[in-house]
Structure 1
Amino acid sequence: MSNITDELELKGWLMDRLPYEMVWVREDSQIIYANARFCKGVGYSLKECMKLKVSDINVTVTPESWKNHWEEVMTKGAVQFRAVHKTKKGKFYEVEVHVQKFSYNGNSYICGTTNEFSESSFYKNLIDNTHSIANVGGWELNLHDGSILATNCALDILNAENSEELTPPKVIYKFKDSGRFKFLLGEVIRKGIAFDELFETKDSPPRYIRAVAKPILKGDKIYKVLGVYQDVTEIKHKENDVTLYKTIIDNAQDLIYVYNDKGDLLHYSESLIEKLGFSKKELNKMSMFDLDTSVTREFYNSHFEELREKGLHRFEWLISRKDGTKFPVDITASHLKYYDEDYSCAVVRDITAKKMRDLKLYEALEEIKFLKERLENENEYLQEEISNKINFNNIIGQSQAYKSVLIQVDQVAPTEATVLITGESGTGKELLARAIHNSSGRKNRPLIKLNCATLPKDLIESELFGHKKGAFTGAIANKAGKFTLADGGTIFLDEIGELPIELQPKLLRVLQEGEYDELGGTKTIKIDVRIIAATNRDLKEMIREGQFREDLYYRLNVFPIHNIPLRARKDDIPLLAQFFLEKYSAKAGKTFKRLSKDTIDALMHYNFPGNIRELENMIERAVIVENGPTLKPGNWIPEKDIVAASNDFKSFEANQRDYIIEVLDHTNWRVSGPNGAAKILKMKDKTLFAKMKRLGIEKKISLK
């Protein structure tokens, strides 16, 4: 034994210069010699190496596997294989091993030449470059000792510095779904169940990694796991883009066809199913000629020729649905070249609505112009209203008599009923109209007001219904009428009894049909407007005298509200007077705070023929001439109109009734004729009869 050792040592200087790791081993796997390159590779000195056995370097070797290996080498003479060597520091590296037998002095030995596989040759570079180009990295997990080998590309893909970071306990945390990855690794390690799945990394932005692993078996035991990591982020993004584009196409309202020059329908958007009425199964069997029987082969060939020449063909067409109905479309077909085959991608847009819009374009533009003018007119009108508005949002009153009026307002406001407000001048009829409008469903649209008594007769029609430029002398521009401004809202026609008889049919048409014609206009205007009218005149009397249309009266008098005079609601005088005092004191910069008891008494004893308007004017005058803080009586209260408060006063109608009865008694209840009561009262017979009926004068009468 010592002889061969001595001889090998003598020849060691030659072995050390060889570019390979070399080691000599005897039958019991004891290392008997190793050259310097081998010692450097495993990290041991020669002396240390000669105390080692093969299983100290290749930890996968067992006594049984070594026995089988020795017999194979002895039988074949030479064997080549790959193995993993362990260094003195515990690092593993893969090697290619070439062993052959030799004999000396009747004893057999093995000489092993090893070359580190990770540094070996052209093939390793080729594999690494291939992996890098394909973004594929490989790894191998040794289940015997838990060691792992990984290519540089695998490390790069998972941003790892060394192979240790790719061991199962660490690599799972590089993925968002670490639980899933851990489960799959467990399945392949314990049960040998391979996997091939896509995982998302925790990077920002995340990347998509394809992870593949499969077991390597020895007999029925798993001793290694081989795996691959492939960065497919770019591929995934492209797939997502394709999916997005397909989703966009399928959700497009336009119809999209892809077909070849033979007329085969290759692809279509989902919109075809809904728009044409065919099922997906039916469409999949159709050609363009089945889908549209009006398409001839001659037209189709011509269509494709134009696509090849110009790349685009745009035209209008009529497309048929499954039920046989047709609709107009605009078709834009584009030429596609794919694998040297000609295709057409046609985007088909339904232009039914466009055709209808084209027909109505002029009217639409006119309507826009009209609405613009209306908005400008409304704005101008509302600005005027804002500057003139005096507390229209509040109705002041606590008297029981006035509460019945407010109850009527509350009842009718939510409805669409036409309202006729009657009562003496100055009682606040306009205030009631505004309260009705503000409590209605039209409160977000304007309340337009017009006093029929303030305009000349020849201008009322234009003011109400508007006019076109040139409709009459002085009509230098188009003008929107009050009904146009009130569309969707409410119009308040004050002093309706002053509306000229010749205009009353036009107002009646608005009430009945909801339409009217502008002066000089060529088309009928439809409107949706609520009408509230007011008057201090006796419209029934006007009907009898032929000054007001009876049909118009009944159209206006759907819901009558009689606004009582101030003298019938005297309990409200102190409240109203205090309100006007505070209002005008602030305007005049004076310090009035209250009314004296004498002032209140004086006001309560005044009958206010001008009603609330007169009270307001009276307080405004008092604020100007008096000084505060308490308003005392003065010459601002007209003494000659002060009357003693008495419960004996009769209403105007009661006095009327008494006087008519007195005249009838004088004429022996003769109404008509030269000596009748109508002659004395200077009234028409029919008028007197109607008034007698209204006042309850029911005694027997004579017609002579």
Structure 2
Amino acid sequence: MTDVKEISLVKEWLVDVLPYEVFWANEDGSLAYGNQKLCERLGYKSSELTKLTIFDINTTVTPESWKKHWDGLKKNKSENFKAIHKKKSGKFYEVEVFAQFFSNNRKEMICGIMNDISSSSFYKNLINNVESIAKVGGWKLNLQDGSIIVTEEAFKIFGTENKEDFHPSKIIQFIKDEERFRSSIVKTIRNGIPMDEIFETKENPSRYIRSIAKPVLKGDKIFEVVGVYQDVTEQYLKETKLNFFKDVIDNAQDLVYIYNREGKLIDYSNSVADTLGYSRKKLDSATIFELDTGVTEDWWESHFAEIKEKGSVQMEWILTKKDGTRFPVDIVANYMNYQGQDINCAVVRDITKRKERDLKLYQALEEIKSLKNRLEDENEYLKEEISGKINANNIVCESEVYEKVLEQVNLVAPTDTTVLITGESGTGKELLASALHNNSLRKDRPLIKVNCATLPKELFESELFGHKKGAFTGAVADKVGKFTLADGGTIFLDEIGEMPIDLQPKLLRVLQEGEFDEVGGSKTIKVDVRVIAATNRRLEDMIKEGTFREDLYYRLNVFPIYNIPLRGRKEDIPLLAKFFLEKYSAKAGKAFKRLSKKTIDSLMRYDFPGNIRELENLIERAVILESGTTLHTGSWMPSTSKTIDTSNLLTFEEVQKQHIIKILERTNGKVSGKNGAAGILDMNAKTLFAKMKKLGIEKETIFKT
């Protein structure tokens, strides 16, 4: 028994050391055995290989073709063929297979002996076909015995049948610049420096031959030089022609721009950088909208459509240099299609000298017109200046009533007090939130804005507090919540009234404890976040309806700020309208500089139920529809305005007065000290006394029945 076992081991060892890949396959295609050579070639372990089938190794084999192959071998006993095998890594290689059918004790199997022929077959085919594919002639010079090997294509390139003509000392007879060729080939042969150059031939007309030579080393000694010759005449002449035209364009005085459909500058002449004063680095990444702020996306799309339809369009324009200098130009924009891409090739000519007289006349007329308009404005406005002011928070205001709102902002901004901004939609509550943050000690940390009205209910908690991967269906990765992002800074919860009632306790916990749990998380997260909330709804009514928690309301309403509607600060309408006019005139490339008195009067008579947002949209629409330097009334102006019943509305000072009285009633008239009204209002006691005096609040006022 021992002898039999040893003989079996010897047989297995012999199969393993064979320089061929060997496997045994069953009738169902499963692999019963594979030698070590096969395992190494395929990249599998022996234990892995026996779990495979022939279909895993040869992906071209199907159960039907394997059955046919099995039956054929069973009949013919052996076959010899080529196949493609697949490695574990997914790569393929070519093999020559000798397959033989065996039957032992009714156990039928196929033995496959394989030889890897991928390298020799591939490179042989590559060498045989490379000349016809690339039209390249090859050669090899043996420096030991001076022998040279030349391919057929090389003979065709130089029109000779004598391979001796290809020795470096003789091939030079075909080259026009003999000295340059000699110098280059000597450097390759003697110094081992590769050569890759284009040489002109002596024939007429001459051709251009690319010559590549590479030394082959044994140790540090050069013993062979291999190289190729390629006729690149057509390509060389095209490139030369293109370079010539590029030089002509680059040296032209006219400015040449090439834009794609999206407005990206993809090429330009040297004169563009020289004339406009931009660096090439800037131009290489520039768009038409950056180089010419008067061009809008809508105009560009319309312009591109026109040149595509007509082929070319000529127009006059005013260009602006980097330093702000403007000059008139004549533009011829041409449509081209290059490699399936729409191209706008614009040739721009400076017509300053030609237009000098017209330009001076234009400027003179503009000056006269400007003076006339100025005189008209002075007469209409009685020399009223609409200077206004735009503070650091981009809040446009000159009305006294809104100044008091900004005073509240300035008072509470440096603190960490929670602020609730109320007011109608479109009044600019987000601007007030930005002002509060930018004037706080947290201004160097982020202001995270969340519009509660736009969040789907099912994603509300995840958006605010984050979630862990797998917390719910679709949670394919961890998500950081807005409160975590706002840590150390401020979070602005706009439209807080839209927060689902079941999530309000979690927000209350953040306000009270400064902590929360992520969805699906197991660790409590601590944050230091200032909360600013805003709403256009009456939260008091929502409390009565049971849709807003009373305790959350009081925690948010620590410092309430009522944002006055536009109809309550009408003095700001002219200033706001002028601000929006300048903003959208610049965007649209229009020349508006002022509003007519009639326009301002019409705006002042309108109640603006949509507040500042409505005014902004109105001016933007007017800029699109109208033209000139003064904005006059037109179809864009609302013809009617609903009158709002203000009989039951309180002034801002009356609201303040009632609120302070309400707090004093709770403190039994105590202003300062512990549990005093000043502490509740988060105000300095002296400031509160001054405010009470200004509003006429006395103890008799507080406790009268």
Scaled by the length of structure 2, the TM-score of the pair is 0.36
Highest Rg: 1 or 2? Answer: 1
Scaled by the length of structure 1, the TM-score of the pair is 0.36
